[in-house]
Amino acid sequence: MTTVPLPDTRASAISLVTAAIRGDVDTVRFALDMCDVDEFVPMFHASLALARALASRLRSPEGLMAVDVKLAEISRNHPSRDVRLAAQLILGHGQTCYPPVETVTAAETFDHLYSIGADTFNAACRTADYGIIDVFVAALAMWRLLLPEADIAARASMVCNVGGQLWASAEPAPPKLEGTGTLRVKTKAEDSPPQPTLAIPRCRLPPLSARK
């Protein structure tokens, strides 16, 4: 689900994604090491949503589908456990942010895809456990490989603009798709079954004394 994060969280997510696109993994890890535990979860979700939104702006529907296929291959075949989980994390989270109209047929429903995405995301979080920060860093770094065209001098402005578009149009609940022909958007029905809840990533940050 795409929700509007607080201004500080938005700024942190923009900084993290910009650093990741630049290839500056040390800056990403330092920012996470300095992050308060209570700030980590909203920044975690906001950063994943922002990176996905950036991909949707830079790639055609077919190109975005190719990105997802590449992520699926990485999640199965990469020799690094953290990288496999990172790809799984991106795929799962992406299906819970907004209706993926670029890659689905009209006969499929967002509820079904949301459930699959939530299960995928939650499985990655459970497997990573307290190593979720390493997996998160790998996920952010992966976008540099997936979106090499984003590494330009104006990357910070581009990421900031995408964030503004993403959160300006965010809604409190994801819409659904219905019908078998043209895709149509409707609001959540009152009698719809509850959607699965995303897991809260577990992290073990070093004590403040060790971060000075």
| 141-186 tens-digit pLDDT | 999 999 999 988 888 999 999 999 998 865 443 333 333 333 333 3
Q: How far from the centroid of its chain's Cα atoms is residue 152's Cα?
A: 21
201, exposed or middle or buried, with CB in 10 Å at 0-12, 13-18, 19+?
buried
44, exposed or middle or buried, with CB in 10 Å at 0-12, 13-18, 19+?
buried
Rounded Cα–Cα distance for residues 123 and 113 (Å) = 15
Domain that residue 174 falls in = 7-211
Structural domain contains residue 83: yes
Q: Residue 38: what pLDDT?
A: 83
Structural domain contains residue 2: no
Total domain count, the chain: 1
Q: Is the pLDDT of residue 209 over 50?
A: no
Structural domain contains residue 116: yes
**pTM of the entire structure?**
0.77
The closest alpha carbon to 8, from 33, 30, 40, belongs to 40
Structural domain contains residue 65: yes
pLDDT bucket at 37, cuts 50 / 70 / 90: confident
Structural domain contains residue 1: no
Structural domain contains residue 153: yes
Structural domain contains residue 11: yes
Structural domain contains residue 171: yes
Q: Residue 89: what pLDDT?
A: 95
Contacts of 186 (CB under 8 A, 6+ apart): 175, 176, 178
